[in-house]
Amino acid sequence: MPGKNEEGEDTVAQPDTQPSEAEVKPKEPEKLQLRTPERKEILGFGETEEDEEAIALAKKIKEKEEKFKERRYKIAQVKENTLSVEDAIREGKEELVIRPALVDSVPEELTNHQLNEGITRSLLSDNPYLDTDRVIFNHEKREFQKVIKNSREVVLYEIEGCIIHSNSQEAEVQAVRIKREEKWALKLAAINEKQKRLLRAKVDERKRMSRKVTELDEIGLETEEAGEETSSDVGEEGEGEEGAMTPHIDAFEEDIPGKKLVNRFNYSDRSVLTIACITRDKGTQTAPNPRSHVTGQVSQWIIYDHYQKDYAAIQEAKEKERQAKMIMAVKKEDRTIKKPVKTEDPIYKRMAEGIKILERMLNQNTYDHLAQDCQFYEDPGDKYRTEEGVLLPLWEFKYQPTKGIAVTQVKWNPAYKDLFGVTFGILDFAENDDIGVLSVFTLKNPSFPEFVKHFDSGALCLDFHPRKCYYVCVGLQDGSVAVHNMQTPNCETQFRSTVEHNHRSQVWSVLWCDDHRDRQLSFFSAGGDGRICKWLLLQNELLHSPIITLYIDKHELSSDIPHLKLKAMPTCLTFHPKDFEIFMVGTAFGTIYKCNISYASTYFYHMKVHELTVYRISYNSFIPEIFATAGGDWRMKIWEDGRPEPLFVYNLDASVQDVEWAPYSSTVIAGITALGRVYIYDLNVNKYIAACAQYVVCADDDIATCLTFNPAGHKMPLILVGDSGGTITTLKLSPNLRLKPKQPRKRKEAAVQIDETALEISKLEKILYHVREPMLRKESEE
């Protein structure tokens, strides 16, 4: 078979026998045949320089030919003595399998220029094993971020030495310390020598005195008295000498560096003996365990019967458990099911439907002019007013039992744009607070609410579920929360928190959370006790889960107050429009906290935004990094997330009770003061002067409490305003307050135009650009 050898030349398969020299020997060129030495002797040519070169070249060619013959011979011999892989495995001779021939290749001949050519070698300081693409996961931003390492050092070996520089400060300190130790050693040696001499003198003196005492005892009493006097004198002298020497020694020993001092006032030597443990042996005997012999037979059908019995027992237990759950559910829903059973009569149902239709017809005829104005009327005066607009009053919603009770919050239903809910409660907590009402109104029937629910405590806040819009949660003044279903008759209570899980103070804000991880409906509540809690709606209970407890920062407290851990008082709660895990809380101390559901132990940051209570926080629906706050210090501020200074500050000359961004425009924002005046700013028209400032609450004793835009936007440009008298006023925005963004000139003639959302975002970004630049310059100068 044709193939290629190791040098890449085309070859033909050789026979299994050894090739002859004639076959292996290549054909010599004709030019060199006359230059070989043999031909030279025969023909008798003379020796010239050209002949010498020819002879040398012929020798080289002959050496190559011999090497080539040896190589071909080795290849042929290897092929003759080898087998294929299949034959070698079959015969058990794997060592004879054909392998690549290990023959030295012919070295390439290089010229003198190539041999003398210099090759440049460069050493680089780069570390090839350094991680250049290392990333870590940032839980705050929920993305992977690259880790940049500037250090390229590689430590191969490191050992601490004991040599220091002779001229360094450390060497000087060490020399001083060595001299001092030598000095103290000499002094100690001198003192020890003096102590030894004193000790010998004391021993000799005591021996001498003992001999004198024995002699005096023999003489008599007089000698004994004299002996006592002498002994006392000697003792005093000895004590004086020892006392004179001892303080000097003690004072010296205290100054010795590195000497461990002994507490002379509480030091004693004791010798103790350990208690010998007495061992006793006691033997006991136990009765052997009773045994029983059991015999039986095992077969396939006996095993099958036992499995059937076990399966039947399991099914029976499951059935009992299911029936027990049904009984518990029936008992819990007994109050909500038994009462409407009496009204299930078809006659009453048909009568209620007829009465409802008749009521709608009467209201339509009575308030027909208001309905027409809401749908079709546009204020013609806006054509002649520049940068100004007005609010057109329409319906006033009242419920007689709630007259004089403050409107605490108003919320539009996300699915039905003409339906909204209202909570009523007493804001003056010194008065009786056992009156609370939840009412659901519709624009089709301004005279009476569609649903009414009374509570034994004031209702302070509410929220509709964004998807299941018939669920509404309510926060009460006694610290409890409740969930109602508007599909049931009379808007019955589905869930209500128990006393052990309630907040310890008023619930100021409740919000539904669309957390897909729970797989259950859930909402959050903010109470005056500083806690943010999460509530899960299970089948038969309302599960309570605390998220975070907010505390006042110690730097905000006065220096006269001791450093106590005081809880903050949340007054409002709002979620990020695009991230369900992030929420922001405003407190009664003018501080806002940015928190995360996944990090319950701490919060991202807290910031002082107002001097008094923060009543409301509102995110911009187009650019969520922009939000607005309303405070009791008469100011409404616009902030950018992460920036400590506000972008815009508006002084409205009264306490700002509520603030909200318009859902149809990225630059329109509305706020309401306690005096009942509504301020609407359009940043794209004028950033400093309100486009509309209009009083909407007429009663002198009443104050405005809340404000909200209709989520339908341009289709229904309405806002609702609630006051402390229990009245909800509907207002329509004039055309100057709801201007649409214009398409760029180049896009007007184009077939594809820019989306309105993109136009709104670019409109606000242009305004923010002119505000950010001076602030950045100011920060850089500082």
Residue ending a domain, choose from 40, 73, 105: 105
Question: How many domains is the chain partitioned into structurally?
Answer: 3
- Same domain? 434 vs 531: yes
Asked whether the beta carbons of 415 and 736 are under 8 A apart, the reply is no
Backbone angles phi, psi at 678, to 5 degrees: -95, 130
- Same domain? 776 vs 666: no
| Range 239-264 average pLDDT | 47
Asked whether the beta carbons of 691 and 660 are under 8 A apart, the reply is no
Q: How far lies 76's CA from each of 14, 80, 95, 264, in Å?
A: 8, 6, 17, 103
* pLDDT tens sequence across 26-37: 444 444 443 444
Instruction: Tell me how far apart the alpha carbons of residues 513 and 526 are, in angstroms, rounded to a whole number.
Output: 13
Residue ending a domain, choose from 41, 75, 105: 105
* pLDDT tens sequence across 167-177: 888 888 888 88
Which pLDDT score is estimated for 262? 56
Q: How far lies 112's CA from each of 52, 117, 526, 694, 754, in Å?
A: 21, 8, 90, 101, 73
Q: For residues 451 and 34, which has the higher predicted lDDT (pLDDT)?
A: 451
Backbone angles phi, psi at 654, to 5 degrees: -165, 165
Domain-located, residue 745: no
- Same domain? 423 vs 527: yes
Instruction: Tell me how far apart the alpha carbons of residues 683 and 161 are, in angstroms, rounded to a whole number.
Output: 70
Instruction: Tell me how far apart the alpha carbons of residues 748 and 742 are, in angstroms, rounded to a whole number.
Output: 9
- Same domain? 527 vs 654: yes
Which pLDDT score is estimated for 260? 52
Under DSSP, the state recorded for 736 is G
Domain-located, residue 36: yes
Under DSSP, the state recorded for 342 is T
221 pLDDT band, cuts 50/70/90, is very low
Backbone angles phi, psi at 93, to 5 degrees: -120, 70
Domain-located, residue 631: yes
Instruction: Tell me how far apart the alpha carbons of residues 414 and 462 are, in angstroms, rounded to a whole number.
Output: 13
Domain-located, residue 571: yes
Domain-located, residue 476: yes
Which pLDDT score is estimated for 5? 47
Which pLDDT score is estimated for 8? 45
Residue ending a domain, choose from 52, 84, 105: 105
Buried b (16+ CB within 10 A) or exposed e, 65-76: eeeeeebbeebb
- Same domain? 627 vs 483: yes
Which pLDDT score is estimated for 423? 94
170 token code pair: 């450390």
Domain-located, residue 416: yes
- Same domain? 650 vs 758: no
- Same domain? 417 vs 515: yes
Domain-located, residue 194: no
377 token code pair: 């009327």
Identify the burial level of 302 via C-beta atoms within 10 angstroms of its C-beta, where 0-12 means exposed, 13-18 middle and 19 or more buried. Answer: exposed
Q: For residues 116 and 744, which has the higher predicted lDDT (pLDDT)?
A: 116
- Same domain? 662 vs 773: no
Domain-located, residue 300: no
379 pLDDT band, cuts 50/70/90, is confident
- Same domain? 657 vs 510: yes
Indicate whether 95 pLDDT > 80.
no
| Range 467-482 average pLDDT | 91
755 token code pair: 């989306």
Indicate the range of 62-66, 450-454, 743-747 predicted with least confidence. 743-747
149 pLDDT band, cuts 50/70/90, is low
CA dihedral 762, 768, 773, 774 (to 10 degrees): 150
| Range 530-558 average pLDDT | 84
Indicate whether 50 pLDDT > 80.
no
* pLDDT tens sequence across 613-662: 999 999 999 999 999 999 999 999 999 988 888 999 999 989 999 999 99
Identify the burial level of 678 via C-beta atoms within 10 angstroms of its C-beta, where 0-12 means exposed, 13-18 middle and 19 or more buried. Answer: buried
Q: What is the mean pLDDT of the chain?
A: 78
Of 673, 654, 689, 663, the C-alpha closest to 681 is: 689
523 pLDDT band, cuts 50/70/90, is very high
CATH number at residue 582: 2.130.10.10
- Same domain? 461 vs 574: yes
Indicate whether 304 pLDDT > 50.
yes
Write out the H or E segment, with its range, that includes residue 392.
Answer: strand 391-397
Q: Which domain holds residue 557?
A: 405-676
Indicate whether 713 pLDDT > 60.
yes
4 pLDDT band, cuts 50/70/90, is very low
Half-sphere exposure for 477 (CA within 13 Å, toward CB):
23
